[in-house]
Amino acid sequence: MLHQQLGKHALAGLQTRSVPCIRAPVKSRRSLSTRASVGTPGRIAIVDYGVKSQRGTVRKANEDRANFVSQLPVDAKYFINAYAGVYDGHGGAAVAEWLEKKLAGVIAKRFNTRNPEQAIADAFEAADRALLTATSGFLGLGERGVGGSRCGATAAVAMLFQVGEATKLVTANVGDARVLLVKSTGETVQLTVDHVPDDENERRRIQSFNPNPKLPLVQFKAGTWRVGGLLALSRAFGDAYLKGSLNAEGFSTGQDRSMGYSSGFGLIASPYTTLNDLTSEDAWLVVSSDGLYSEEARGGGGGLDSRGLAELLMAVDKSVPCDTVASILASTAVNLGSTDDVTVVVMRLGAASE
């Protein structure tokens, strides 16, 4: 139970209870999460939202970024109801800042309601190509990429859009940033998949591009699997030093024909996506960096799990603004031992007013 985890840091007045947790099915890059769509469909809106970003206790600077956009225009006649994104930077904040400022626009330029998952996937890959642009000068290729060749970021985004009377939720993630849907019953659905080298499928994918199996592209170092023995992520934006040298020039070596450009060490920015109808049972939507969660198995610090997060949300009175709720979630993760930057966008869902 969460109140036992919190100990002296327990939040006064919060009554918690055990709630179930399920994950979206993992089938391919794109997956329809049918378990998430239970209840009465209809027009669902974000009643309130809050954003909180907190520097990690062992960090010199907060490299996370986040944004929320209401009514993101697609064209003159159509807009996305709401867009929320969290970008977890590493090796500096430049890539995360670029995503904060530009990713929503890149998605909007390509968005369509016929195949929103493919549109987002195309947008993510286009954004990564832009981030890998070579710097000018003779030695530009050695330090190509926004923020330098070793700067990168994970990302998770959630978007609400309307198709007739149905409110759709499309999500996408690269890396280990997450999107969690919490129902009025307290049940949780994780709508993202952690892209980490610990995952055997990801290791196999990366190794399939290895021209020399005697020198593994994924190595176990410092307590976890790492791409190139360095990065504990298997998918990320940026990180040019782990991606093929021809990415920025728009050529392909044929290593990854599905993406249209070389994937170097196997590090890619192809997202996992889900598409669902929101219903009357959907109560909360949370987009966050991995610092919110406990990842001790991967060498990270403490933090919340999905059930604990749901317990906190279910205990919150409707009069509490989401800015306060976001702060509660972030501070609770830190109190439970998270040392990473913690960034969270919390959205309370409800029936749309006519």
Q: Looking at 23-32, 43-52, 94-103, 342-351, which range is the least confident one? A: 23-32
**Residue 38: inside a domain:** yes
Q: Are strands 237-238 and 178-183 parallel, antiparallel or unpaired?
A: unpaired
Mean local confidence (pLDDT), 168-195: 97
Residue 229 lies in a domain: no
pLDDT above 80: residue 295? no
Of 122-131, 215-224, 290-299, 323-332, give the lowest mean pLDDT range. Answer: 290-299
DSSP letter (8 states) at residue 14: -
* Cα torsion 327, 332, 335, 339: sign: negative
Tokens 């209401």: give the residue. Answer: 70
Helix, strand or coil for residue 254?
A: coil
225 located within any domain: no
**Residue 138 in this model has a pLDDT that exceeds 70:** no
Confidence band (pLDDT; 50, 70, 90) for 40?
low
Q: Is residue 214 part of a domain?
A: no
Weakest-pLDDT range from 56-70, 120-134, 247-261, 331-345? 247-261
Given pLDDT bands bounded at 50, 70 and 90, which one contains residue 191?
very high
CATH code: domain of residue 45 = 3.60.40.10
Structure tokens at 11: 């939040």
Tell the burial category of 141 from Cβ atoms under 10 Å away from its Cβ (0-12, 13-18, 19+): middle
DSSP per-residue letters across 185-228: TS-EEE------TTSHHHHHHHHTT-S-TTS-SEEEETTEEEET
Report d(CA 303, CA 129) in Å as an integer. 33
Strand pairing report for 79-90 and 64-73: antiparallel
pTM, two decimal places: 0.85
pLDDT digits (tens, 9 = 90+) for 198-225: 999 999 999 887 878 788 899 999 888 9
Number of structural domains (the chain) is: 1
In a domain, 179, yes or no: yes
Q: Write phi, then psi, for 339 (nearest 5 degrees).
A: -105, -10
Q: Which of 127-136, 282-291, 321-330 has the lowest mean pLDDT?
A: 127-136
Query: What are 227-252's pLDDT values in tens digits?
Result: 989 999 999 999 999 997 644 333 33
Spatial CA neighbour of 312 closest among 333, 334, 296: 333
Please indicate, yes or no, if residue 318 is contained in any of the structural domains.
yes
Q: Which of 52-61, 138-147, 205-214, 333-342 has the lowest mean pLDDT?
A: 138-147
Which structural domain range is residue 279 located in?
Answer: 2-202+236-351
Does residue 195 form part of some domain?
Answer: yes
Predicted pLDDT of residue 214:
82
Distance, in Å, from the CA atom of 352 to the CA atom of 46, rounded to the nearest integer, reads 8
In a domain, 211, yes or no: no
